Amino acid sequence: GAGVSQSPSNKVTEKGKDVELRCDPISGHTALYWYRQRLGQGLEFLIYFQGNSAPDKSGLPSDRFSAERTGESVSTLTIQRTQQEDSAVYLCASSLAWTGAGNTIYFGEGSWLTVV
Amino acid sequence: AQSVAQPEDQVNVAEGNPLTVKCTYSVSGNPYLFWYVQYPNRGLQFLLKYITGDNLVKGSYGFEAEFNKSQTSFHLKKPSALVSDSALYYCAVRDIGRDDKIIFGKGTRLHILP
């Protein structure tokens, strides 16, 4: 597609429910990132997929968080048993692989999650 | 591992004055360096990047950044600030030659005062 697409754009969920957030990267981009941004805060790295390599999960805050990616396309971020502190904007970004000219990463508009 | 620091949480500049948003980095090799801007309730937008070549990089909206290898800095600059430049600015680094993630600074909020 023309840009990184995320859905839903807004989600309100009850505490304890599971949520799934979806990211469609730019076509041909092998690298995909998830970040979290709490209100008034900076970017918090969550997870990074690069081609067929094992994902870098070092930023996932707890075992309630998981992410999958099908090949080099769609990724889903799942949050189980949501807590109020999970309320944030979840940003997805994609880029070409590192080989090449300093590949820029491009962000989606984010999925705004509110846990009530 | 690479890292990036933005020492200022907020920068206030009068409209029409030059602005600087600071960024320093640490990498094991040579860096790829980026600046992004985030307007309220929006995703991040790419401004400019340094890969190689001229140390002064020009980007969108009249912004530029200067790569200084000896000081490991990549400060964002603009000769004359506009009120519409008010936003959150992020510096990011990626280590050349490593198949590794991009690391972002914590962001600097820029306020341009009319």
Provide, rounded to the nearest whole percent, the portion of chain A with pLDDT above 70.
95
Sort out which chain A residues have CB atoms less than 8 A from B7's CB and list them: none
Residue-wise pLDDT for B19-55, tens only, equals 999 999 998 888 889 999 999 878 899 999 998 889 9
Interface of B with A in 25-64 (CB under 8 A): 32, 34, 36, 42-46, 49-51
**Does the CB of B3 have a partner CB in chain A at under 8 Å?**
no
Q: What share of chain B is helix, strand, coil (3-state, %, to 5)?
A: 5, 55, 40
C-alpha distances (whole Å) from B59 to each of A12, A55, B62, B77, B109 are 37, 32, 6, 10, 19
Mean pLDDT of A4-10: 96
Mean residue pLDDT of chain B comes to: 91
Q: In what order do the strands lie in the sheet with A75-79?
A: A5-7, A19-24, A75-79, A65-69
| Predicted pLDDT of residue B100 | 66
Compute the count of residue pairs across chains A and B with CB atoms less than 8 Å apart: 53
- Whether residue A42 and residue B105 make contact (CB cut-off 8 A), yes or no, is yes
DSSP class of A56:
B
How high is the pLDDT of residue A102? Answer: 67
CB contact under 8 A, A98 and B105: no
d(CA B114, CA B84) in angstroms, rounded, equals: 10
pLDDT at A12: 97
- Is the pLDDT at A2 greater than 90? The verdict is no
Q: Does A40 touch chain B (CB under 8 A)?
A: no
| Section A37-54 average pLDDT | 87
* pLDDT above 60: residue B99: no
Which of B46, B60, B95, B101 is the best mutation test for A, with the most CBs of A within 10 A? B101
Q: What is the mean pLDDT of chain A?
A: 91
pLDDT tens digits along A11-27: 999 999 999 999 999 99
Q: Kindly report the nearest CA distance between residue B97 and chain A, in angstroms.
A: 8
